[in-house]
Amino acid sequence: MENFDLERQLDELLNEEEPYIDDTGFTRSMLDKLPPARSRPEWLKPAVLITSTVLASTLAVVFLPDSSVMTTKISRFADIGVLWMGIIVTAAMVGVSFLSIAIARSDP
């Protein structure tokens, strides 16, 4: 019962209206001086997630213990050689680098 009273008292305190403290327009002037928010392209977040997932998965397969067995199985499954797998990993790393640069430039 005491817990219920405490919750009720907290609710009352949180719902009380505090009088507005006039700051003679200081808050509004500070908000007006802020730069406008930058927007990111809509494709950026999914591209980063997909590229990161592909890169992390590839690195996990390459660096896992007994990775030669996993690499062989993946190579057979995809019918690609180790050379092509290296090219794919390199392309993924370059993609992550470019996306990281794009994110860094779009962040305020």
* φ/ψ of residue 31, rounded to 5: -65, -35
Ranges of the chain with pLDDT below 70:
1-3, 64-82, 106-108
- pLDDT tens for 68-79 read 555 566 656 566
pTM of the model: 0.34
DSSP state of 107: -
DSSP string, 13-51: HHHPPPPP---TTHHHHHHHHSPPPP---TTHHHHHHHH
- pLDDT tens for 14-33 read 888 777 778 888 988 999 99
